[in-house]
Amino acid sequence: MAHMPKNAAAPSVPTRDRLLDAFEDLLVEGGERSATLDAVAAAAAVSKGGLLYHFASKDALVDGVLARLDALALQDAENIRTAPAGPVDYLIRTSVHTGSPLDRAYIAGSRLAQGRDPRAMQVLADIRRRWLSVIEEAVHDPDTAQAIMLISDGLYVNSSLAENELAPQDPTDAAMARLIALIGRLLPGS
Amino acid sequence: MAHMPKNAAAPSVPTRDRLLDAFEDLLVEGGERSATLDAVAAAAAVSKGGLLYHFASKDALVDGVLARLDALALQDAENIRTAPAGPVDYLIRTSVHTGSPLDRAYIAGSRLAQGRDPRAMQVLADIRRRWLSVIEEAVHDPDTAQAIMLISDGLYVNSSLAENELAPQDPTDAAMARLIALIGRLLPGS
DNA sequence: ACAACTATACCGTCTAGCCGGTACAGTTAC
DNA sequence: GTAACTGTACCGGCTAGACGGTATAGTTGT
């Protein structure tokens, strides 16, 4: 058990992933400023030296979350495409914060983008482009697809801005169902 | 020329406002982290002592931009209500970045909110609530009004994410006109 | 006299990153 | 089989610089 955690009865979650999780959580809950190396190390129950062993710099940590976000989003594009209730329904319902790993990673990425990190902005742009093309494929009209993407983005910022009830917060509630019905009116066929 | 800018043939802009402008610009262009007291003072061509003469703390500076944002947004709500082409047209067209004072102030406020500043989150929430009620007044249907707000929010994040052409960037271009036409389909009357 | 500054020095704290050390499993050489 | 050594995974103390804020003495136009 050379490279395993000392106390591991089970492999548990690798330290590297725990550090990434901690970094994400701090970004999501406290914004960029609160996600310091010390805070990340503490949240992951690792010393600062241990953090820097896995990620040589804060930049490396950023690259780490961004890489994971990209991988998660790539998988998600497939989920959207093959969703039983259809891509639009799936996209809209998952645009509010669900606490899924992708969700957390996406918000973390947004925080980094708001801090003007060009890598984060690039990754987010790529993800959104991917989503848009899936929706375009489904609705067969670029303008409609774009409008749907905009609503999805709007839902995201709303649930990001926390505790306000301007928009549906829960993917399963009635307001969400009404919103999806409304979006139906945008579709070319009627 | 004591309290006037040295070079002022005209009263020009008062130092206090130049400091607020500088703070906003730094927030918009470099995110929260780059907007330090030293940077703000330098950008406004004022000494650090001069900055702290007008704003005793960074918190006071934040309060300053937030107060100005709130005032600007209050005025804007009236502009939306009385827009010749109608509230929805106006709201949507001004949801992309135009470089207007309100626009810059709003983005600056968003940066602060992303840094989890509760005051900023509160001010933004109030502004959005105001906009929503103006739109509700105009379209006579809460769900439709909400969907329109979401599209507006979506446009805003898109133009915030810079240099991507997923959504219309220019309030006068054809894509914007098509988007507004599409939104027309959401309206209860047809 | 006073408001509106400039300039400079300073303080405590926070932050990123560095470095020397430790523990220990596995490898090699005899 | 055991001593010497290697690589991995960490610990925790440290430092330089940035940051928010204080302080203070001087300057300038009215």
- pLDDT for B163 equals 62
Residues from chain A contacting residue B177 (CB–CB below 8 Å):
none
Taking a C-beta distance cutoff of 8 angstroms, is the pair B94, B84 a contact? no
- pLDDT for A3 equals 36
**Residue bearing tokens 């940077």:** B39
Above pLDDT 90, what percent of chain A?
Answer: 72
- pLDDT for A188 equals 79
Best of A110, A127, A129, A153 to mutate (most B CBs within 10 Å, chain B):
A153
Scan residues 23-62 of B and list those with Cβ closer than 8 Å to A: 29-34
- pLDDT for B9 equals 36
Taking a C-beta distance cutoff of 8 angstroms, is the pair B67, B119 a contact? no
Q: Is the minimum CB–CB distance between B95 and chain A shorter than 8 Å?
A: no
Q: Is the minimum CB–CB distance between B187 and chain A shorter than 8 Å?
A: no
For the four alpha carbons of B101, B102, B108 and B109, in that order, the dihedral sign comes to positive
Residue B150: closest CA among A112, A148, A72: A148
Which SS3 state, helix, strand or coil, does residue A139 take? helix
Nearest nt (C1') from A1 Cα: C25
- Name all protein residues with C-beta less than 7 A from any atom of nucleic acid chain C: A 1-2, 6, 33-34, 36-39, 48-49, 52, 56-59; B 2-3, 5, 14-16, 45-50, 53-54
| Total beta-carbon pairs less than 8 A apart between chain A and chain B | 126
In angstroms, the CA A41 to CA A20 distance is: 10
- Bigger pLDDT: A58 or A159? A58
Tell me how far CA of residue B67 lies from CA of A13, B14, B73, in angstroms.
Answer: 46, 17, 10
Taking a C-beta distance cutoff of 8 angstroms, is the pair B167, B159 a contact? yes
Residues from chain A contacting residue B91 (CB–CB below 8 Å):
none
Q: Is the minimum CB–CB distance between B124 and chain A shorter than 8 Å?
A: yes
Q: Assess whether B11 (CB) lies less than 7 A from strand D.
A: no
Instruction: Tell if the CB–CB gap between A164 and B125 is shorter than 8 Å.
Output: yes
Query: Does A4 have pLDDT greater than 70?
Result: no
- pLDDT for A163 equals 62
- pLDDT for B166 equals 67
Contacts of A39 (CB under 8 A, 6+ apart): A26
| B118-139 helix and B142-160 helix, angle to the nearest 10 degrees | 130
What is the average pLDDT across A65-82? 96
Taking a C-beta distance cutoff of 8 angstroms, is the pair B159, B169 a contact? yes
Nearest nt (C1') from A39 Cα: C15
- Bigger pLDDT: A12 or A13? A13
Q: Is the minimum CB–CB distance between A142 and chain B shorter than 8 Å?
A: no
Residues from chain B contacting residue A29 (CB–CB below 8 Å):
116
What is the average pLDDT across A19-44? 93
Tell me how far CA of residue A154 lies from CA of A78, A92, B84, B148, in angstroms.
Answer: 22, 10, 26, 9
- pLDDT for A165 equals 60
Residues from chain A contacting residue B167 (CB–CB below 8 Å):
146, 149-150
- Tell me the HSE value of A101 on the side-chain side, using a 13 A CA sphere: 15
Taking a C-beta distance cutoff of 8 angstroms, is the pair B60, B52 a contact? no
CA A103 to chain centre: 3
pTM confidence score: 0.88
CA B66 to chain centre: 10
- Residues A78-113 have pLDDT tens digits of 999 999 999 999 999 999 888 899 999 999 999 999
- A114: confidence class by pLDDT, cuts 50, 70, 90: confident
Structure tokens at A126: 């790529």
Instruction: Tell if the CB–CB gap between B128 and A164 is shorter than 8 Å.
Output: yes
Ranges in chain B, pLDDT < 70: 1-11, 162-166, 189-190
- pLDDT for B81 equals 95
- Bigger pLDDT: B168 or A20? A20
In angstroms, the CA A14 to CA B188 distance is: 54
